[in-house]
A and B are shown apart, each in its own frame.
Chain A
Amino acid sequence: MIRRSVLALASAVILATTSAFAEGVIKLGAISPKTGPLAGGAVVTQWPNIQLWVEQVNAVGGLNVGGEMMTIDLIEYDDKTNPGEHIKLAQRLATQDKVDFVVAPYGTGFNIASAPIYGKFGYPMIAVSAITDKVDELTGRYPNLFFTLGTTTAFVEGVKSILMEQRDAGAIGNEIAMVNVADAFGIELADKARELFTAEGFKIVYDKSYPLGTPDLSPVMKGAKDSGAKAFIAWSYPPDSFGLAEQAIIEDLDVNVYYSAVATSFPAFSNAFGSKINNVLGAGGTNVDDPKIAEYREAHLKITGKVADYWASANTYAALQILEQAIVGAATLDREVVTQYIKDNTFDTVMGDLNFKNNFSNTFWSVGQWQDGVFRGVKGSNVDGAVDVRLKDGWK
């Protein structure tokens, strides 16, 4: 009995002290999928980085905001990959929870859907997992929205320059086999690729799409193989990037250049296929030899227990670093001042020095390649450490 009342007293004291310090707290809201179609990507790229950053900041006593140390209080919601749900939760964050800042959502559509709400309340949104060609129109409309991962065109350009280099080197001819997932981003990329590739004299000898979530990619791969093209490009999503690789192994697809888009950079991709996918190209990339990136990846593994993906993970973490430095630099929680600070300054992040021109940060990787168990960046914009592209040599 005595022990119980001592415990109660102790917890009361703890409660009292925490509430006494409640003033020194920055409320941070984060809404991203934990369930639904986009959850697979968000639990790899989005959530672990939020966890990592919050734990790191709180471990050193919080952020120094004009002389006062303020810890981060994270409020997180699952949008179930449903835009209606997301909008409602965004309103809840802004008007019920009254958070001080937000983490930009995961997915192009969700960033755009929540931009009007966050804009109304003046939250700066440093979007990462959002790739679009409409950056100017969107940032013109929502001046608080920032983009950091590149544009659709930039991604296709990265692949195009690899194809042109390899054609000059004689590794591939003019023929390309190209497939895409028949869903928003896959269609958008394929559309752009048709335009850019043919303008450079390439012939797309095999051009096929498949529905999202199709269980059988074998006909697609057989068709690509029969076309005889030495370059295979797939504008694919997480489930089918894996499915295509599996079929390529079964069919022993004989190409020198093999590219599949989203999720190729996930550690799970390498875990699933091991050395067989050596020299596979994919969207993204990172420079693991950069000491800052190496340190970040080590902390990521230690704190979240997961290996960081080789693409947007670092950008997601960098976006949080920008927010951190802007709050500390502006020395206030005033969102308008912090937003302006983001526009006016350069930030020292794991992705190097980042700054925004018209709300767009032009520092990102566009193409990477699995080279002996590590997915290294081979093409990018304003990034250091790009390695040479290697030719795909069998599926062993």
Chain B
Amino acid sequence: MKRSNWQELIWAAVITILAAFWPMLANGYWLGIGVDVMMYVALATSWVLFSGPTHYISLASAAFFGVGGFIVGTGMSDYGTSFWSMLALSAVVGAILAALIGLATLRLSGVYFVIFTLGLAEMIRNLVSWVQNNFLGSRGLYVLTDFSDEHLFWMLLVTSCSIYLVGWIISRSRLGFAMRIIGGNETVARHVGINTSMAKVILFTTTGLFGAIVGAIIAPRWSYIEPNQVFSPQLSFFVVIMALLGGSGRLWGPVVGVIPFLLIWNWVDANFPNQSILVLGLAFLLIVYALPNGFVGRIEDLHNKMKRHS
């Protein structure tokens, strides 16, 4: 194994340890921003896990996120189960759902896949409402726990690390190699004997699993779960923009995308409350015109230039 690989992992460990101290330094508003950052780091990293190497743009984040939140809500509110068992269940359901969807749709490529995933969150929201309406009945889903923001921050940090590690292991495995070939040219990949759909399904499953876990962890923060809120399409777009802004070529790309994006977003939101959606559009333009490979691409360019000079 190359030295640089281990170097990256050590850096990641150092950053994780530093991040773990955030709740000691910040409270209230800034801790809340920290939870937001961690939530999007986890979602965007798990997005990059699949979409980075394959170049399939998935807008399904909200679907998995919503499933996680909904399962925790239903379990704790209507059946009095514990948060932890529901967290485990949502991971399982998220993974199964992603696998089923993957099997059905990952033969689609390009724009068809994007459109399908966009509709997915909406479809699941309606399905959930239908099930609630016809079988469960709804008394409002209350998720009342004693977790405070620190706890949620640490849980999300652990989730983000797990996603990163899984991604790190995959990218160094035969599967990761296969994914890169698929991303380069899917036809070639098939011709050299890679079972492309199986490889894609496996990766998409991990995305679904982690998306549902993040949704489950956020549920106690929201305290009251309504389907049209957890399945918000805006979340999917946020995840994609932050991941692309950071750069989807590297697993740590989202981290450098999420933090500046959220800081600017919150600043604009506080000072020009009606203009915040503009940030989304500007970020899009910035990605297309100036940062096609995200911040990561820029950083690597600079790094290479410096190397050449020295």
Given contacts A113-B223, A182-B129, contact A134 B140 (CB under 8 A): yes
Q: Which of A88-107 contact B (CB under 8 A)?
A: 88, 91-92, 94-96
- CB-CB nearest in chain B for A134: B142
- CB-CB nearest in chain B for A121: B28
Structural contact, B32 and A87, CB atoms closer than 8 A: yes
Structural contact, A82 and B227, CB atoms closer than 8 A: no
Complexed CA–CA distance, A78 and B229 (Å)? 16
Complexed CA–CA distance, A188 and B39 (Å)? 30
* Closest Cβ–Cβ distance, residue B279 to chain A (whole Å): 13
What mask results when residues 126 to 152 of chain A are scored 1 for a CB within 8 Å of chain B, else 0? 000000111001100100000000000
* Closest Cβ–Cβ distance, residue A86 to chain B (whole Å): 9
Structural contact, A132 and B140, CB atoms closer than 8 A: yes
What mask results when residues 221 to 243 of chain B are scored 1 for a CB within 8 Å of chain A, else 0? 11111111100101000000000
Question: Which residues from B are CB-within-8-Å of A84?
Answer: 36, 39, 218, 221-222
* Closest Cβ–Cβ distance, residue A37 to chain B (whole Å): 7
Complexed CA–CA distance, A87 and B221 (Å)? 8
User: Main secondary structure on chain A at its contact with chain B?
Assistant: helix
Of the stretches B171-179, B182-190, B266-274, the one at the interface is B266-274
Of the stretches B102-110, B130-138, B253-261, the one at the interface is B130-138
* Closest Cβ–Cβ distance, residue A130 to chain B (whole Å): 10
Structural contact, A209 and B32, CB atoms closer than 8 A: no
Structural contact, A112 and B223, CB atoms closer than 8 A: yes
Given contacts A77-B273, A108-B224, A132-B140, contact A82 B234 (CB under 8 A): yes
* Closest Cβ–Cβ distance, residue A212 to chain B (whole Å): 6
* Closest Cβ–Cβ distance, residue B242 to chain A (whole Å): 14
Give the interface size class of chain B.
Answer: 35 or more
Given contacts A184-B140, A188-B139, contact A95 B28 (CB under 8 A): yes
* Closest Cβ–Cβ distance, residue A33 to chain B (whole Å): 12
Structural contact, A96 and B224, CB atoms closer than 8 A: no
Question: Which residues from A are CB-within-8-Å of B228?
Answer: 37, 183, 212
Structural contact, A184 and B33, CB atoms closer than 8 A: no
Q: Which of A7-34 contact B (CB under 8 A)?
A: 34
* Closest Cβ–Cβ distance, residue B140 to chain A (whole Å): 6
Question: Which residues from A are CB-within-8-Å of B141?
Answer: 184
Question: Which residues from B are CB-within-8-Å of A34?
Answer: 274
Q: Answer yes or no: A295 CB below 8 A from chain B CBs.
A: no
Q: Answer yes or no: B82 CB below 8 A from chain A CBs.
A: no
Q: Answer yes or no: B27 CB below 8 A from chain A CBs.
A: yes
* Chain B residues close to A by CB (< 8 Å): 27-33, 36, 39, 126, 129-130, 132-134, 137-142, 144, 148, 218, 221-229, 232, 234, 266, 269-270, 273-274
6 closest A-B pairs by beta carbon, nearest first, are A95-B28, A187-B138, A109-B224, A112-B224, A91-B32, A191-B137
A-B contact pairs, 19 of them (CB 8 A): A77-B273, A84-B39, A84-B222, A88-B33, A95-B27, A95-B29, A109-B140, A109-B222, A109-B225, A141-B144, A182-B130, A182-B133, A183-B129, A187-B132, A187-B138, A188-B138, A188-B140, A211-B126, A211-B129
List 7 additional contacts besides A109-B224, A183-B226, A209-B133; criterion CB under 8 Å: A83-B224, A91-B32, A109-B222, A132-B140, A183-B129, A184-B226, A185-B140
